Amino acid sequence: MSRTLLSLVVPFYNEEDAIPAFFAEVVPALEAIDKVDELDFEIVCVNDGSKDRTLALLVEAADADARVRVIDLSRNFGKEAALSAGLTESRGDIVVPFDADLQDPPEVIAQLVSKWREGFDVVLAKRSDRSSDTYLKRQSAVSFYRLHNKLADVKIPENVGDFRLMTREVVDTLNALPESRRFMKGLFAWVGFRTAEVTYVRNSRVAGETKFSGWKLWNFALEGITSFSTVPLRMWTYFGLLVAVTAFLYAAYLVIRTLVRGIDVPGYASIFVSLLFFSGVQMIGIGVIGEYIGRIYHESKRRPLYVIRRRYGK
């Protein structure tokens, strides 16, 4: 019988400082799993248009170890695209997305494999302690998960990132999805399958700095909500109805007051404030609609999610 192949899919973007520690920790952890569970492994490294020596170091690792393969994208397409490229290029019977910064301990992979042996198609790695993250990142994550799960039909598990184990059937289903603007956490949840989870404590970055600024996190959250919920659009319908009813009732009040008390001359301040308020409301509504139209625009062009410049390794 052929041995099971595990694919570790890792996007890299300007991670030259973390690469030596990455291979020093990940390879022994995977070799330890091989001894216990008798499975082979490959490490699929996706260089997402790095501007430092990341590609050169990854190619050196591929030349030194046949189990390492490098997918070099033609430019920086973003983590979601790089992760999608790695999933498509992976060959394993089971696939584990993983970050290069080692905040997710490689030893947890053995727990994922053990849970998979029990018959689950997806095994989530859930963070039980995020004290290594900044306060802003922790609070923004909590707020996003709660808001998203209230608005969207597809619920995303809280404190679960891309780190998980998936069978080949799950990965093939993800690869077959046609959208080019991908919010992977939502897609992972959307495909379903039999799911279990293990908990772990997240570490600090081994080197370098996070690539997600506050502005990028905000746009990422907006992408997630508009990808899996039309509630923001529906909210403006109800808000417009509320404003229309309020305006009608106020107009009726003015008519009755004029008939009873006659005509008076109101001040202009309230009119000016009302105009500014409702102009702002209209602009926000147009912005919400624009977010969805923008997604339609990008999807309609049917451009590929990424472009591969070259592949290294076997």
- Are the C-beta atoms of 313 and 90 separated by less than 8 Å? no
Residue 231's SS3 state is helix
Position 96 scores a pLDDT of 93
Position 212 scores a pLDDT of 53
If pLDDT is split at 50, 70 and 90, which confidence band does 296 have? Answer: confident
Task: Enumerate domains of the chain plus CATH numbers.
Answer: 4-229+303-312 (3.90.550.10), 231-301 (no CATH)
Q: Is 120 left (phi over 0), alpha (psi -120 to 50) or beta?
A: beta
Mean pLDDT of 121-131: 81
Q: Could you write out the DSSP letters of every residue in 248-307? A: HHHHHHHHHHHHHH------SHHHHHHHHHHHHHHHHHHHHHHHHHHHHHHHHHT--S--
- β strands within 13-155, DSSP E: 39-47, 68-73, 94-97, 122-129
DSSP 214: H
Residue 210's SS3 state is coil
Residues ≥6 apart with Cβ < 8 Å to 29: 106, 107, 109, 110
Position 186 scores a pLDDT of 76
Check pLDDT > 60 for residue 213. no
Position 209 scores a pLDDT of 61
What is the percentage of the chain residues whose pLDDT exceeds 90?
A: 17
Is 148 or 293 the better-scoring residue by pLDDT?
293
Q: Encode pLDDT of 88-120 as tens digits.
A: 999 999 999 998 888 888 988 988 998 888 889
Q: Encode pLDDT of 28-80 as tens digits.
A: 988 888 776 678 899 999 999 889 889 999 998 998 888 999 999 999 888 88
Tally Cβ neighbours within 10 Å of residue 151: 17
Position 6 scores a pLDDT of 92
Position 214 scores a pLDDT of 55
- Are the C-beta atoms of 291 and 226 separated by less than 8 Å? yes
Q: Encode pLDDT of 166-204 as tens digits.
A: 999 999 998 888 887 777 877 888 888 888 888 888 877
If pLDDT is split at 50, 70 and 90, which confidence band does 283 have? Answer: confident
If pLDDT is split at 50, 70 and 90, which confidence band does 293 have? Answer: confident
Residues ≥6 apart with Cβ < 8 Å to 40: 3, 4, 5, 6, 34, 67
